[in-house]
Structure 1
Amino acid sequence: MDVRTGLIALFCLIGLTWAQPVKYIDCGSTSGKVIGVDINPCPNQPCQLHKGNSYTVNVTFTSNVDSDKSTAVVHGIVGGIPIPFSIPVPDGCRSGIQCPIKTGETYNYQASLPVKTEYPSIKCVVEWELTDNGNKDLFCIKFPVQIVN
């Protein structure tokens, strides 16, 4: 019985290492406040994003506005130049957020970040914005990544 309990505890601890809070900077969240960011799997920072894989980005934030919709815009910043990253579902209301968004409520935005095989192996900064009805940022975050084979 003790061996099984120990194995279960070990697997739980291993699972916790895959999604750790990510160090990020707020780049202009005017309509909301970011509470936390994590990427799964991302056991080390900067997150190593392997080509051909997909990663889950989770952002917990509190809204300062009411909004009927939310739209995600993602860029990779390379040499100071923002290069668009396509994400499968840019509609925040289909990414874990119950719309309409209400002032003072806390939300957990969840999205998939596919890393295409044609992306170059490079270190860059990801800028992830979620905008409200008025195209103001519910959140804007930046975090470093490294794209690897």
Structure 2
Amino acid sequence: MKFSVFAITFAFTCFVSLSQATEVRQCQGGAKKLESTEVLISNCEKPPCKLRRKTEVSIEEKFTPDRDLKTLTTTVHAEILGIPLPFIGVDNTSACDNLFEEDGTTKAACPLQAGKNYVYKNSFKVLEIYPKTSLVVHWALTSDNKDVTCFEVP
């Protein structure tokens, strides 16, 4: 019985920690702020987010495009001395395979409709080759080389 109570409490705690929105900032000069945008980063509610090497980080973003989109691309990098360092395996990849309907469970795909709510889900490995330093991560969903959504998190 004690194990059951512990398991339920643990599962609830994990669910609550995963469902808390992460405080992020809009990219400067990037996409306009969309009121429906909400970002969740695993194990990070408030910056700075500590990304530990040899771990996997999950991203979930709720957004509503303001125009019809044929394609959507994930753009992710951190800047070191003014030089963008792309996140290997995530940067410049199609976001179309990572899209869900507003419920977060029903798969969606490109093209996207203006005014419709979507959920983008992705994860990435924090590789050992990434430097041990504080950085700002720039994460954008783009279409035709223009930001659809864009946020930054230290």
TM range (shorter): 0.7 to 0.9
Residues 19 and 43 in structure 1, CA contact (< 8 A), matched pair in contact too: no
Equivalent pairs: percent with the same residue? 29
- Partner residue of 1:76 out of 78, 81, 85: 78
Please state how far the C-alpha of 1:64 moved relative to its aligned partner.
0.4
Measure the CA separation in 2 of the matches of 1:29 and 1:41: 26
Question: Gaps (5+ residues) in structure 1?
Answer: 145-149
Change in Cα spacing, 1:14 to 1:71, as seen in structure 2 (3 Å) is closer
TM-score (norm 2): 0.78
- Unmatched segments (≥5 aa) in structure 2: 101-108
For 2:133 and 2:43, locate their aligned partners in 1 and report how far apart those are by CA, in whole Å. 18
Task: Return the TM-score normalized by structure 1.
Answer: 0.80
Q: Distance in 1 between matches of 2:44 and 2:76?
A: 18
Letter in 1 for 2:99: G
Q: Distance in 1 between matches of 2:62 and 2:132?
A: 29
Q: Report the CA distance shift for 1:18/1:79 in structure 2 as closer, same or farther (over 3 A).
A: farther
State the shift of 1:20 in Å: 3.0
Letter of the 1:93 partner, please give it: C
Distance 1:63 1:34 in 2: 10
Distance (whole Å) between structure 2 residues aligned to residue 34 and residue 76 of structure 1: 25
In the alignment, structure 1 residue 131 sits paired with structure 2 residue 142? yes
Alignment coverage as a number of residue pairs: 143
CA distance in 2, matches of 1:85, 1:95: 17
Structure 1 pair 83/10, CA: closer, same or farther in 2 (3 Å)? closer
CA RMSD of aligned residues (A): 2.6
